[in-house]
Amino acid sequence: MTFTLAIVGRPNVGKSTLFNRLVGRKLALVDDQPGVTRDLREGEARLFDLRFTVIDTAGLEEVTDDSLQGRMRRLTERAVDMADACLFLIDGRVGVTPSDEVFADILRRRNAHVILGVNKAEGRAGEAGVIDAWSLGLGDPVPLSAEHGEGMDDLYRILRPIAEQFEERAAQDAPVVDVDVTETEGDEEADPEAHKPTARKPLQIAVIGRPNAGKSTLINRIIGEDRLLTGPEAGITRDAISVRADWMGTPVRIFDTAGMRKKARVVDKLEKLSVADGLRAVRFAEVVVVLLDVEIPFEQQDLRIADFAETEGRAVVVAVNKWDLEDEKQDKLAELKEMFDRLLPQLRGAPLVTVSAKTGRGLDRLHGAIRRAHDIWNRRITTARLNSWLTAMTEAHPPPAPGGKRIKLRYMTQVKTRPPGFVVMCSHPELMPESYRRYLVNGLRDHFDMPGTPIRVTFRGQGDKNPFKEKKNWGAPSRLRKHLDKKKPQ
């Protein structure tokens, strides 16, 4: 059992920089402009021998209405309530501001463990801010430099007693058992299938799409709480935030990504960082949900996003959101399926699901489509079945003979999963046309029931692997071989 530490403070005091320092990776976006962070981002922190959960929050502002800043503040206050300890960060070069005094008073009432940190305290420029921080009445201020890693030992000495309290509480609450079960034994019992999602290895899902398609709202509906910041404004999400949940009995880790606009329209540096973070989340995911807006589906940017997911080799599920706004549902569904088959032939057979993130309709179908896509993505086919199928395919449609050179397909085997990858050993692989590769890929989809998942087929030349090709006298008696070798001209 580990404790949770929430990092809070005004915008641009270095909360995300300190978060990245504690987790040991650049997970949170960092920029000079204030207000970069909007959602809550959790990470597993390591500080010497301490292990705990750290939460990066949005900057606190003196706004309480329903504006974007007001919703961000409420989300940060929620993180303070759920955290076991709170690190209140101020800017040592600016000193204590009136806003810091207001927020210090709020934190004093809401959280039992409040640690006062003075960031950017390196050098003489930050000394005045450390002295000024005593006026907040939150105990000894901790001078820190998140950028340079200074003050981490002082922070460790303050967090150590808090960690010991939670360790004692965990020891008291631990259930008494008669039989010890090792971690390996427990995993084998709970995970009979290698690719079955477990709490230790949840199913990784990335939700991608254009801005304002409803990605954050959909994820909030799936996990059953307002964990991610939502609203009518486009482009609210900036970081690729991951949340864990148990979705209808399936342990999942869902990545919420920033909306992806056309590359020509992305000129802001922060938006470029957000899109890059979302693309990185796609590479970590196993299943990618491409979320479309029912009012403007399959725009050029939607097609690019879906093609990117397929190119990365992820299992793809296409979901059409805001289905509750559609009146002519049957006609619209037929139109969507026709557009899907015509505009995304590389994803032929991928599931197309209609959902409403606002009402929750269709989430059971979306869950089933994701699980099926994941199973297909992990499917393995025996070599015997593959070669029987390959024989039938070549008899029905033999490969071409470009330039009079006949291409002979010798055998086929599956070399990988996630996504399924196959190698066909043949003669003249460099002459194999792309059309015949597509013919085999479509045949694999239809015959082995693998709709929608990316399939990789590679042609490879077998070459002459006869080890006795140069030994012309192989097979003769040993004395005769020696006699023939002596007769050879020198």
Binding site for GTP: which residues?
Answer: 9-16, 56-60, 119-122, 209-216, 256-260, 321-324
Binding site: which residues?
Answer: 9-16, 56-60, 119-122, 209-216, 256-260, 321-324
| Domain shared by 247 and 389, yes or no | no
> What average pLDDT score do residues 460-465 get?
68
Cα(37)–Cα(28) distance, rounded to whole angstroms?
8
Length of the chain: 490
- The alpha carbon of 426 is separated from its chain's Cα centroid by a whole number of angstroms, namely 37
- In the chain, the number of structural domains is 3
Domain end call among 127, 153, 173: 173
| Domain shared by 399 and 361, yes or no | no
CA angle 42, 45, 50 (to 5 degrees): 140
Pair 243, 194: CB distance under 8 Å = no
- Selection from 99, 143, 75 nearest residue 11 by Cα: 99
Q: Which residue has the higher pLDDT, 106 or 316?
A: 316
Pair 52, 2: CB distance under 8 Å = yes
Q: Which residue has the higher pLDDT, 236 or 100?
A: 100
Q: 422 in a domain, yes or no?
A: yes
Residue 469 amino acid letter: K
The CA distances from residue 461 to 136, 410, 427, 428, 441, in Å, are 74, 10, 5, 6, 19
- For residue 447, what is the domain's CATH number? 3.30.300.20
| Domain shared by 418 and 352, yes or no | no
The residue range of the domain holding 28 is 4-173
C-alpha R_g of the chain: 30
Query: What is the overall mean pLDDT for the chain?
Result: 82
The two structure tokens encoding residue 248? 């209808």
Q: How confident is the model at residue 393 (pLDDT cuts 50, 70, 90)?
A: very high
Predicted local confidence at residue 33, as pLDDT: 64
Q: 184 in a domain, yes or no?
A: no
109: exposed, middle or buried (C-beta count within 10 Å: 0-12, 13-18, 19+)?
exposed
| Domain shared by 305 and 449, yes or no | no
| Domain shared by 33 and 135, yes or no | yes
CA angle 416, 311, 296 (to 5 degrees): 140
The CA distances from residue 286 to 163, 188, 207, 283, 372, in Å, are 35, 22, 11, 8, 12
SS3 per-residue string spanning 124-175: HHHHHHHHHHHHHCCCCCEECECCCCECHHHHHHHHHHHHHHHHHHHHHHCC
Cα(208)–Cα(140) distance, rounded to whole angstroms?
45
pTM: 0.71
Pair 92, 112: CB distance under 8 Å = no
| Domain shared by 117 and 221, yes or no | no
Q: What is the pLDDT of residues 42-100, one digit of tens each?
A: 888 999 889 999 998 887 877 776 776 777 777 788 888 888 899 999 999 888 998 88
Q: How confident is the model at residue 433 (pLDDT cuts 50, 70, 90)?
A: very high
Look up tokens 């010798």; give the residue.
410
Pair 91, 120: CB distance under 8 Å = yes
Q: What is the pLDDT of residues 97-119, one digit of tens each?
A: 988 898 888 888 877 689 999 99
Q: 93 in a domain, yes or no?
A: yes
Q: Which residue has the higher pLDDT, 77 or 193?
A: 77
Question: Mean pLDDT lowest for which of 86-95, 276-285, 334-343?
Answer: 276-285
Predicted local confidence at residue 113, as pLDDT: 86
Predicted local confidence at residue 478, as pLDDT: 55
Domain end call among 152, 173, 194: 173
> What average pLDDT score do residues 291-315 get?
90
| Domain shared by 289 and 338, yes or no | yes
Q: How confident is the model at residue 192 (pLDDT cuts 50, 70, 90)?
A: very low
- For residue 38, what is the domain's CATH number? 3.40.50.300
**CA-based torsion, 130, 133, 139, 142: positive or negative:** negative
Above 90 in pLDDT, residue 363? yes
Domain end call among 378, 410, 433: 378
Above 50 in pLDDT, residue 199? yes
Question: How many CB atoms are located within 10 Å of the residue 413 CB?
Answer: 15
Contacts for 262 with CB less than 8 Å, ≥ 6 apart:
300, 301
Predicted local confidence at residue 41, as pLDDT: 82
